[in-house]
Amino acid sequence: KKPTFGEGKTVESARLLPYDFQGDLDDYIIEEQ
């Protein structure tokens, strides 16, 4: 997954990216257990 920023949505996307990453990390950890 590569972060993509649309015109005028850079701030919103940058704010949401950490949550998306954390969600992916949680899924990975759950699958590993």
| Per-residue confidence (pLDDT) for residue 12, from 0 to 100 | 63
Predicted confidence pLDDT, tens digits, the chain (33 residues): 565 555 555 566 566 666 566 667 677 666 666
Integer Cα distance of 20 and 1 in angstroms: 10
DSSP for residue 25: H
Count structural domains, the chain.
1
Integer Cα distance of 33 and 16 in angstroms: 26
Domain that holds residue 27: 1-33
| Per-residue confidence (pLDDT) for residue 26, from 0 to 100 | 72
Backbone dihedral angles phi then psi of residue 5, each to the nearest 5 degrees: -120, 120
